[in-house]
Each structure stands twice: as C-alpha cells, then as structure tokens.
Structure 1
C-alpha cells in the first residue's frame, strides 16, 4: 500500500480491529458510516442489520480482550476505485472463530468509513 488514501485506510482498519477486539462501540462509530449495512453470510446464521442494532450487539458483548482471546488479523487486499470508494478484504481471529470480511468503503467529509460489512466465519478447531 502506498499513498495517503492507503495510509488512512490502514488507520481505519487498525481502529476496526481494535474496536471489535475491545467491543468498543465508540471507536467503531468512527469506523462505520451512519448508513452501515451489516450482513452475516455464514451458512445457517444469516443476519442483516443497520448500525444501531449492531452497536447494541457490540455493547452487550463481553470484550474478547477481557477474556484474553487469541487475536490475529490481516488486511488481505485493498482495492480502490478512484478516490471515493473501495473494498477491503480482511480476516480476523477472535471469540473462537476465523472471520472473513468484505468491507466496502466510502470516502466522506469525515474520511474513509465502512459502508457495508459482509462476513462469514468458521469455528476454530484448536
């Protein structure tokens, strides 16, 4: 990655991973767009919700950090289409699961934000 947009997206993703691991809805509100669409595409657990419902879930969750959960994450690919939209492919391990995320981004007056979060997970076997 190179350039200011990629640096900003790296920062955004750092806050995304931290916010999830610490179940910090305040941090995540600075990551997600107000019009967030959240979709769990895992077989048998399909869900669709908006930002407020997702933040309620985050607030009710025991933070993986307080349980000492294993945490691994990676940005696998960033694809920008011009200077306003992009896609991030990422993965994260926490809460006994391996998550695969497809995040669409939009560059707003407040910087890059995640507009859609589509993901699936598999339970860890170890």
Structure 2
C-alpha cells in the first residue's frame, strides 16, 4: 500500500465504515483519536460525547451487519490543509437512516485519526 496521505485516509475510511457497520469498537479505536469529539447535530437530537462514551454506545448496539441492513457509503470529499490536518465529507446509509458526516482528521504518531465527528441524519422513507 502507498504511504501517501490519500491512501492512508482511504484505509482509515474503510475501517470507519466497516467498524460502524459491524459495531466493532476495536476497529473504531484505530480510526478515532483518543480526544474524539462526537457531535450529533441532527435537529432535535443534539448531543456531544467523547471517545469512551461513544465506544460504549457502539458496544451496546446491535450490529447493522447482523441484521443484514442495507448499506451505502460514499466519500464525497477529502481536503488536506498542510501535512497534518484535513476534513472528510462523507455520507452513509445504515440502520434505516441517511447520515451526513463531517470528519476532521489529524496526523498523529499513530497515523491519521478522526479528531471530530460531526454528523446529522434523516430517517429513510423506503
């Protein structure tokens, strides 16, 4: 695999989508920075939490994969600002919802990690 930032971030996003779909906090811990800020900005459901609270939620969740939930993921844009920070715009469908994610990333000693996850969702109509 290439050591380019693009290839590393593509790998990060593969782990992100897989970890969420399989509710695998071990995989997600390789994605998120220990200082993660998780923000649900959906109208009427604003919430903020850190990594440990979010991982506890993931661990308590029935994995969408175990139910065979429909799944769609798209990375809409990756923008780097210098060699150490960037932002990812992505969307995904799972658990009967369409999610829009804004992920800020930082390059740390462990490689690229998501420092903030700000997202919103709408319930699917189908």
- Taking structure 1 as the reference length, what is the TM-score of the superposition? 0.98
3-state DSSP of counterpart to 2:93:
strand
Moved over 6 A (4+): none
Question: Is the counterpart of residue 26 in structure 1 residue 26 in structure 2?
Answer: yes
Partner Cα distance (1:13, 1:83) in 2 = 18
Deviations 1:5-47 (A, max 9, x none): 0000000000000000000000000000000000000001100
List alignment gaps of at least 5 residues for structure 1.
none
Q: What is the aligned residue count? A: 125
Question: Is the counterpart of residue 92 in structure 1 residue 92 in structure 2?
Answer: yes
Partner Cα distance (1:25, 1:77) in 2 = 25
Aligned to 2:39: 39
List alignment gaps of at least 5 residues for structure 2.
none
Partner Cα distance (2:123, 2:3) in 1 = 36
Partner Cα distance (1:29, 1:86) in 2 = 19
Question: Is the counterpart of residue 64 in structure 1 residue 67 in structure 2?
Answer: no
- Taking structure 2 as the reference length, what is the TM-score of the superposition? 0.98
Aligned to 1:108: 108
Aligned to 1:53: 53
Partner Cα distance (2:96, 2:10) in 1 = 25
1:3: Cα distance to partner?
7.3
Let me know the Cα RMSD of the aligned residues: 1.1
Aligned to 2:7: 7
